[in-house]
Amino acid sequence: MSRRVSLPGASELFGGAAPKQTRPEKRTTTTDGSSLSDDRPGSNGRARTAVVEDRKSSGRIRHDTKITVYVTEEELLGLEQTRLALRAEHGLTADRGRIVREAIDVLLADFVDHGPDSVLVQRLRAAAPE
Global pTM value: 0.54
Q: What is the mean pLDDT of residues 108-114?
A: 97
- Span 1-11, average pLDDT: 71
Amino acid identity for residue 108 in this structure: L
pLDDT in tens, 57-100: 666 678 788 999 999 999 999 999 999 999 999 999 999 999 99
Q: What percent of the chain has pLDDT over 70?
A: 60
Q: DSSP letter string over the chain? A: ---PPP---HHHHHTTTSPPPPPPEEEEEETTS-EESSS---TTS-EEEEEESS-----SS-----------HHHHHHHHHHHHHHHHHH-----HHHHHHHHHHHHHHHHHHHGGGSHHHHHHHHHS--
